[in-house]
Structure 1
Amino acid sequence: MTIAAPAHKRILLKLSGEALMGDDSFGINRATIVRMVEEIADVTRLGVQVAVVIGGGNIFRGVAGGSVGMDRATADYMGMLATVMNALALADAMDKQGLTARVMSAIAIEQVVEPYVRPKALQYLEEGKVVVFAAGTGNPFFTTDTAAALRGAEIGAEVVLKATKVDGVYTADPHKDPTATRYTKLSFDEAMSRNLGIMDATAFALCRDQKLPVRVFSIIKHGALRRVVMGEDEGTLVYA
């Protein structure tokens, strides 16, 4: 029997910090992170090279009240540290699942994780390791969506997979409007003109300029990541 080859050989998976919370109000839900790692392990066994950019909203949410009135740059640096914590938790869960993970940070914390160096990241991917990019771009005022677009372009990813709790982009909020329908695909220009809010404007513009497609899908759905990697109709594809 012939086994179908993956449609993508190298992917950049964008995980929000909130995706790690499960049903908790903040923090990391261990069962949730283990399930996500199992999905990632499944696609690596297909020979797909996987890099991950992770947000920090789940941890930063727990201290957000104290950040009111704080200087924006300071708050953003706190958020970067939260992404490092999430990256370490994700890498630990991967190691326990038999994956080899390397965390690379955009800010220097060499006693904890290694700094981001593009050639080293490419080497790790070629060796079959999962690379987890932490600390966003290393700059305040830029989101982890922008970091995903930037790292995806730098490593030559074929697609940025934006993992959410919703299985794609809809014409309206599917939780509020039962008539809302899912877009199978749409262009960057269409998404911007309709103000769909898929990613922040900087990230979206970078993906469009680099002709780096984005697929929005639900990380909650079992097997969804594998179906996306195999090129099946899952989520919403945004293309240049």
Structure 2
Amino acid sequence: MSVSAVDDVPGRLEKVRRAIARACVDTRRDPAEMNLVCVSKTFSADEILPALRSGQRIFGENRVQEAAAKWPALRVDFPDIELHLIGPLQSNKVEMAIDVFDTIQSVDRLKIASAIAEHSRKKNKTISCFIQVNTGAESQKAGVSVEELPALLNACRHDLGLTIEGLMCIPPVDRPVSPHFALLYRLGRDLGVENLSMGMSADFEQAIQLGATHVRVGSAIFGSR
């Protein structure tokens, strides 16, 4: 990222915050209850600092090792950071993920959920989790199917004792997003899951209108990767 792009981060961040506030007002929701997850994947600690200095505290990363390399040092000066894993999680990275992240949004199968439960118990650390739902039934994409979601949710909560705070989805890139956001909202309502992580830079306002509690915004804040 160029120096000028870094300098633009506070302004971009404020623009996104204003857009979130407008979308909340339009839908008669409290902007204070909306969570902006600032997606900082591929950006360095120096590039992230302007957002931190502007008061942003919730961030999302896709890769465990990348996050482990840059966030511990940032937490020294900003101990109230809340870090979310929003990318796929492999079994051999679960222990490291427990060390680095506060929330894992990409729980999508029992094997991963079991590993999170095991390692979090060993480390005596409570991890907040979201279950990722494959709303588009895409064979190449992570996420539990809509049909298998209730069983996975039940196993996570009652068999493993995980804290499942929400559901997450990434709609297909070549289809309208609103039906997928509406589907996730209905699933959350029917299954008693309060939080919904949906919406990115291009569509977070639609996601808010359809019930999102967490929006994952990267390029609108940091610029193109």
Determine if the TM-score, normalized by the shorter chain, exceeds 0.5. Answer: no
Larger helix proportion of the pair: 2
Query: Greater relative contact order: 1 or 2 (C-alpha under 8 angstroms, separation 6 or more)?
Result: 1
TM-score, structure 1 length as denominator? 0.33
